[in-house]
Amino acid sequence: MPLLFGVRCRMNWRRGRCLSKGAEMGHDLAIVLWALLALQVKHFLCDFVLQTQYQVRTKGIYGHVGGFIHSGLHMVASLPALFIMQAPVRAIAIIMIGEFLIHYHTDWTKSNIDSYFDWGQADARYWMLFGADQLVHQLTYLAIVILLTLGTLS
């Protein structure tokens, strides 16, 4: 049982019931949660710590190396989550290519919509667009974990 997520059940021997609320977490669920945590930390690091102004300025130019660098960082930084899930080599290759393409085109689309409308941070639509961009990334991570859990890419 993973100590961080699991809850040990202490039995009340007189009544034969568990004293804790909840049950012990299974190994498979713990693996999924660790992988999702790794993807969340990866996303924070790649989008908010490691992303340079060069990448921000150029990821809206289709085919520019700045967008390739940014999406490539996301792709490579997903490896710990894929290793946690014990993904087969074929699945790792498919996921890395897919994540690169989805991340690249999501950011390129967001950047171009943002440039076209020129919404500033004071405009609620700017934040709606930012939120939509982040939602697509989060749904991508959820899809990765679901596909690996189901064994679809094996």
pLDDT in tens, 4-44: 444 444 555 455 555 555 567 788 999 999 999 999 999 99
Residues 56-76 have pLDDT tens digits of: 999 999 999 999 999 999 999
Residues 63-113 have pLDDT tens digits of: 999 999 999 999 999 999 999 999 999 999 999 999 999 999 999 999 999
Domain assignment of residue 130, given as a range: 25-150
Closest C-alpha to 1, from 146, 13, 150, 22: 22
Average pLDDT, the chain: 89
Does residue 82 lie in a domain region? yes
Does residue 15 lie in a domain region? no
Q: Specify the amino acid at residue 56.
A: V
Q: Return the biggest CA–CA distance within the chain.
A: 70
DSSP 24: P
Does residue 98 lie in a domain region? yes
DSSP-assigned beta bridge partners for residue 17 = 12
Contact assessment for residue 153 and residue 87, using Cβ atoms and an 8 Å cutoff: yes
Cβ neighbors of 93 (< 8 A, separation 6 or more) are none
The reply to whether the predicted model has a pTM over 0.85 is no
E strands in the chain: 11-12, 17-18
- Between CA 69 and CA 49 the distance in angstroms is 14
Number of domains observed in the structure of the chain: 1
pLDDT at 137: 98
Does residue 1 lie in a domain region? no
pLDDT at 153: 85
Does residue 4 lie in a domain region? no
Does residue 7 lie in a domain region? no
Cβ neighbors of 129 (< 8 A, separation 6 or more) are 110, 113, 114, 119
- In the structure, what pLDDT confidence band is assigned to residue 150 with cuts at 50, 70 and 90? very high
- Between CA 100 and CA 138 the distance in angstroms is 14
Closest C-alpha to 86, from 14, 153, 3, 18: 153
Does residue 145 lie in a domain region? yes
pLDDT at 103: 98
Tell me what the mean pLDDT of segment 126-149 comes to.
97
Does residue 36 lie in a domain region? yes
